[in-house]
C-alpha cells in the first residue's frame, strides 16, 4: 500500500508559466491509474515517488516504510525505495545484451542466485533465445518485455509506469497489457500507471485518480467516475459528455422529477436534492445515453427536434453535432442508414441528466 | 639534435594525462551526479587554474610543494630528494595545466548521456559509483577518450608553471616548450624552428584525432 501526500512548486519564469502540484492519495494492490491531460502533474507525481525529484513538502509511505517525510527530513535515495520504474521508452542499457541488462540489475544478488533469477525471468518473458542480443537488435515489443523483466529482478515493492505504451502500435499495446496482467497475477506487484489514454485507463485500472492542474479532481473506480464525474473539468477530460448550462425551473420531490431549461428547451430530469428553483447548474449527459432517431412525423411529448449540423465518424461510432453544441454518439451502422436526414428527434432519459 | 626534451615531454604528458584523467573523472562525477554543500565553490576552484596566470599557479605550487613547505619536507624525508626542480614537478605542472580543462570536457561528455539510463539504474537499486563506471562511462567513452587526447596535447604544451616549479635544467627537467624558449634565448633559430614544428605536428594530429572521435560518437558509431 502506497500512501502519498506531495507538494511541489515550480516558480513562474520567462520560459514557463509556473506549476504547483498538491496531491494526496493511496494506491493499494492491483493497478492504480493516474489519469490526466498533459501538464497536469502525472509524471511529476511518479518522479516524486521514485525519488528522482525531491518534493517541497509531504510524506510518502510504501508498505509502512517511510520513503520521504518533510517533517523529519527523511529522503531516501531512489536506490533504496524499492520502486521499479518504467519510462516512456524501454531505457535498456544499449551497450549491454538483454541478459547483461538483467544480470546488471541483479548485481547485488549472490552469483548462483543471480544466474537462476536472470534465467527464470528471461524464460518467463520469452526472451531466452534473444538473451545474447543488444537492445537495438530486437523489436520494440521485445525491448518492452525485457524492460519489465529487468524491473522485476530486484523484486520491487511497487511498479511505477510512466506512459509505457506511448509510441507503441495497437498490437504491441495489447501485448503490453497482457504482460501487465501477468505481472499482476504471477508477481503480485502493485502498479501505479500514468496515462492520458482513456481506453487504457479503463482497461487497466482497478482504481483511478483523475489529475487536473496539479490536483486530484476525482478518485474512484473507472465505472464510478464515468457514472458521476465530480466536476465539469473531469467530464470534459473524459470527452464523453455534453455539458449544458441550464436553469432549474421546477422541482417535484414527490414524483422524483425536475424540469430544467437549456437554450429555451425544456428537459426533464430526476429530483435534485439540495437545489433550489432558479439555480443555474451545469447538466452533464453522456453522448451515448441520448436517444436519437431521424425525425419521422410529429415529435411526441418529451422529445425535441434538432437539425444536424455536422457529423464525424470514428472506427465504431458516429458523432452527431446538433444545434446548440450538443453531441450525440450512435453506432456507425445506425448512422450510415440515416445519414441523409437533416432533422432528428432527441430524447433524454430522465436518469441520464446529472447535475455537476 | 638532443631528443631529451621531446622524450621527457612525452613521458611527462603521458603521466600527467593518466593522473589528470583519474582526478578529472572523480571531479566531473561529483559535479554531475552528487548534490552536496559547496558544489559551486568546488566548481569555481577547479576552473580557477584556467583563468589565473601560470606564474600565479606556479607561485602557489611552490608554496605547497616547495622545500620549505610541510609537504615538500615530508616528501624529502620519505624519498630523500626534493620534489621541486625534478621531472615529477614537471608532471605536477602539466596536471595543473590540463586537469581543469579535462574536467570541463568530461563533465560535458558525462552530461551528454541520456539521464533516463541513470534514472533506470537508480531505480534498480544500483550504487552511484557502479552506475558511473558501468553505465555512464561506457556510453560516453569516445568523448572521454577525445578529451583525454586533448588533455595530452595540453600537458605537452605547458610552459609557465613548468618553468616555475621544475625549472630549466637541460637533461633533467627541460621539456619541449622550455627547450624552445631556451633555443630562442640563446639565438639557436634552427633548433627552435625544428622543435616548434614538432610541437605543431603533434598538436595537429591530436586535435584531428580528438575531433574524429567526437564525430563518431555524435554519429552513434
- Percent of chain A's residues with pLDDT above 70: 100
Average confidence (pLDDT) over A59-81: 95
The pLDDT, as a whole number, for residue A350 is 83
Three-state DSSP class for residue B126: coil
Q: Is the pLDDT of residue A222 over 60?
A: yes
- Taking the Cβ of residue A115 and every Cβ of chain B, the question of whether any pair is shorter than 8 Å is answered with no
Compute CA distances A139 → A118, A163, B114, whole Å: 20, 19, 21
**A82, A83, A89, A95: best to mutate for the B interface, most B CBs within 10 A:** A95
Average confidence (pLDDT) over A87-92: 91
* ipTM of the complex in this document: 0.85
- Which positions in chain A touch B117 (Cβ < 8 Å)? 91, 93
The pLDDT, as a whole number, for residue A240 is 87
**A46, A79, A134: best to mutate for the B interface, most B CBs within 10 A:** A79
- Taking the Cβ of residue A136 and every Cβ of chain B, the question of whether any pair is shorter than 8 Å is answered with no
Average confidence (pLDDT) over B103-118: 94
- Taking the Cβ of residue A84 and every Cβ of chain B, the question of whether any pair is shorter than 8 Å is answered with yes
pTM: 0.84
Q: Is the pLDDT of residue B50 over 70?
A: yes
More confident site: A165 or B1 = A165
- Taking the Cβ of residue A91 and every Cβ of chain B, the question of whether any pair is shorter than 8 Å is answered with yes
CB-nearest to B124 from A51, A87, A105 is A105
Residue of A nearest to B138 (CA): A95
Q: Do A50 and B124 touch (CB under 8 A)?
A: no
Q: Which of the four pLDDT bands, split at 50, 70 and 90, describes residue A19?
A: very high
Average confidence (pLDDT) over B45-63: 93
Residue of A nearest to B131 (CA): A104
Q: Do A151 and B138 touch (CB under 8 A)?
A: no
- Percent of chain B's residues with pLDDT above 90: 76
Q: Is the pLDDT of residue A206 over 90?
A: yes
- Taking the Cβ of residue A103 and every Cβ of chain B, the question of whether any pair is shorter than 8 Å is answered with no
Q: Is the pLDDT of residue B221 over 60?
A: no
Q: Which of the four pLDDT bands, split at 50, 70 and 90, describes residue A299?
A: confident
The pLDDT, as a whole number, for residue B214 is 80
Query: Average pLDDT over chain B, rounded to whole?
Result: 91
Residue of B nearest to A88 (CA): B116
- Taking the Cβ of residue A80 and every Cβ of chain B, the question of whether any pair is shorter than 8 Å is answered with yes
Q: Which of the four pLDDT bands, split at 50, 70 and 90, describes residue A29?
A: confident
Q: Do A87 and B127 touch (CB under 8 A)?
A: no
Average confidence (pLDDT) over B141-151: 92
Q: Do B139 and A95 touch (CB under 8 A)?
A: yes
- Taking the Cβ of residue A75 and every Cβ of chain B, the question of whether any pair is shorter than 8 Å is answered with no
The pLDDT, as a whole number, for residue A166 is 85
- Percent of chain A's residues with pLDDT above 90: 58
**B124, B141, B221: best to mutate for the A interface, most A CBs within 10 A:** B124
Average confidence (pLDDT) over B15-22: 96
CB-nearest to B125 from A89, A91, A108 is A108
Q: Which of the four pLDDT bands, split at 50, 70 and 90, describes residue B220?
A: low
The pLDDT, as a whole number, for residue A302 is 74
Residues of B with CB under 8 A from a CB of A: 116-117, 119-128, 130, 134-135, 138-139
Residue of A nearest to B124 (CA): A105
State the pairing for strand pair A317-322/A303-313. antiparallel
CB-nearest to B123 from A84, A89, A94 is A84
Q: Is the pLDDT of residue A43 over 80?
A: yes
Q: Which of the four pLDDT bands, split at 50, 70 and 90, describes residue B218?
A: low
Q: Is the pLDDT of residue B217 over 80?
A: no
- Taking the Cβ of residue A10 and every Cβ of chain B, the question of whether any pair is shorter than 8 Å is answered with no
Q: Is the pLDDT of residue A127 over 90?
A: yes
The pLDDT, as a whole number, for residue A342 is 87
Q: Is the pLDDT of residue B216 over 80?
A: no
Q: Is the pLDDT of residue B207 over 50?
A: yes
The pLDDT, as a whole number, for residue A13 is 84
Q: Do A79 and B134 touch (CB under 8 A)?
A: no
Residue of A nearest to B34 (CA): A77
Q: Which residues contact A9 (CB under 8 A, 6 or more apart)?
A: A18, A19, A20, A21, A56
Amino acid at each position: 500500500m502506497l500512501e502519498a501526500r506531495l507538494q511541489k512548486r515550480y516558480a513562474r519564469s520567462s520560459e514557463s508559466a509556473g506549476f504547483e502540484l498538491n496531491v494526496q492519495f493511496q494506491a493499494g494492490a492491483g493497478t492504480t491509474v493516474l489519469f490526466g491531460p498533459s501538464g497536469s502533474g502525472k509524471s511529476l507525481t511518479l518522479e516524486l515517488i521514485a525519488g528522482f525529484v525531491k518534493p517541497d513538502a509531504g510524506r510518502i509511505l510504501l508498505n509502512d516504510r517511510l520513503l520521504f517525510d518533510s517533517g523529519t527530513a527523511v529522503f531516501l535515495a531512489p536506490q533504496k525505495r524499492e520502486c521499479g520504474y518504467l519510462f516512456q521508452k524501454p531505457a535498456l542499457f544499449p551497450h549491454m545484451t538483454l541478459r547483461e541488462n538483467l544480470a546488471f540489475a541483479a548485481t547485488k544478488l549472490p552469483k548462483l542466485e543471480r544466474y537462476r533469477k536472470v534465467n527464470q525471468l528471461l524464460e518467463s518473458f520469452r526472451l531466452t533465445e534473444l538473451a545474447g542480443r543488444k537492445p537495438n537488435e530486437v523489436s520494440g515489443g521485445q525491448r518492452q518485455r525485457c524492460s519489465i523483466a529487468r524491473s522485476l529482478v530486484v523484486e520491487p515493492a511497487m511498479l511505477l509506469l510512466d506512459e509505457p505504451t506511448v509510441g507503441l502500435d495497437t498490437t504491441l499495446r495489447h501485448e503490453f497489457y497482457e504482460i501487465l496482467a501477468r505481472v499482476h497475477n504471477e508477481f503480485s506487484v502493485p502498479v501505479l500507471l500514468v496515462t492520458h489514454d482513456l481506453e487504457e485507463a479503463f482497461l487497466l485500472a482497478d482504481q483511478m485518480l483523475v489529475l487536473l492542474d496539479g490536483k486530484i479532481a476525482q478518485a474512484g473506480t473507472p465505472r464510478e467516475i464515468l457514472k458521476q464525474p465530480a466536476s465539469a473539468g473531469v467530464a470534459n477530460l473524459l470527452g464523453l459528455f455534453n455539458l449544458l448550462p441550464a436553469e432549474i425551473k421546477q422541482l417535484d420531490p414527490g414524483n422524483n422529477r425536475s424540469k430544467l431549461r437549456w437554450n429555451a428547451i425544456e428537459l426533464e430530469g430526476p429530483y435534485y436534492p439540495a437545489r433550489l428553483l432558479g439555480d443555474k447548474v451545469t447538466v452533464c449527459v453522456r453522448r451515448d445515453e441520448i436517444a436519437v432517431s431521424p425525425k419521422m412525423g410529429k415529435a411526441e411529448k418529451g422529445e425535441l427536434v434538432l437539425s444536424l449540423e455536422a457529423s464525424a465518424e470514428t472506427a465504431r461510432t458516429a458523432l452527431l453535432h446538433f444545434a446548440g453544441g450538443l453531441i450525440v454518439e450512435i453506432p456507425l451502422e445506425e448512422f450510415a442508414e440515416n445519414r441523409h436526414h437533416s432533422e432528428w428527434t432527441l430524447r433524454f432519459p430522465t436518469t441520464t441528466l446529472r447535475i455537476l | 639534435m638532443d631528443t631529451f626534451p621531446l622524450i621527457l615531454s612525452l613521458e611527462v604528458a603521458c603521466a600527467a594525462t593518466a593522473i589528470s584523467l583519474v582526478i578529472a573523472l572523480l571531479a566531473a562525477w561529483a559535479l554531475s551526479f552528487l548534490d552536496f554543500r559547496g558544489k559551486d565553490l568546488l566548481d569555481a576552484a577547479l576552473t580557477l587554474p584556467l583563468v589565473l596566470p601560470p606564474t600565479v599557479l606556479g607561485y602557489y605550487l611552490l608554496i605547497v610543494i616547495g622545500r620549505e613547505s610541510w609537504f615538500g619536507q615530508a616528501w624529502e624525508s620519505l624519498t630523500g630528494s626534493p620534489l621541486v626542480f625534478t621531472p615529477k614537478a614537471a608532471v605536477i605542472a602539466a596536471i595543473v595545466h590540463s586537469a581543469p580543462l579535462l574536467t570541463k570536457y568530461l563533465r560535458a561528455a558525462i552530461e551528454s548521456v541520456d539521464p533516463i539510463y541513470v534514472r533506470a539504474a537508480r531505480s534498480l537499486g544500483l550504487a552511484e559509483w557502479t552506475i558511473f563506471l558501468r553505465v555512464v562511462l561506457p556510453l560516453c567513452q569516445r568523448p572521454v577518450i577525445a578529451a583525454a587526447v586533448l588533455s595530452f596535447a595540453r600537458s605537452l604544451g605547458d610552459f609557465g608553471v613548468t618553468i616555475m616549479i621544475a625549472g630549466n635544467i637541460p637533461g633533467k627537467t627541460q621539456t619541449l616548450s622550455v627547450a624552445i624558449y631556451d633555443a630562442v634565448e640563446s639565438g639557436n633559430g634552427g633548433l627552435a624552428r625544428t622543435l616548434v614544428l614538432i610541437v605543431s605536428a603533434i598538436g595537429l594530429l591530436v586535435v584531428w584525432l580528438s575531433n574524429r572521435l567526437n564525430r563518431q560518437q555524435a554519429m552513434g558509431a
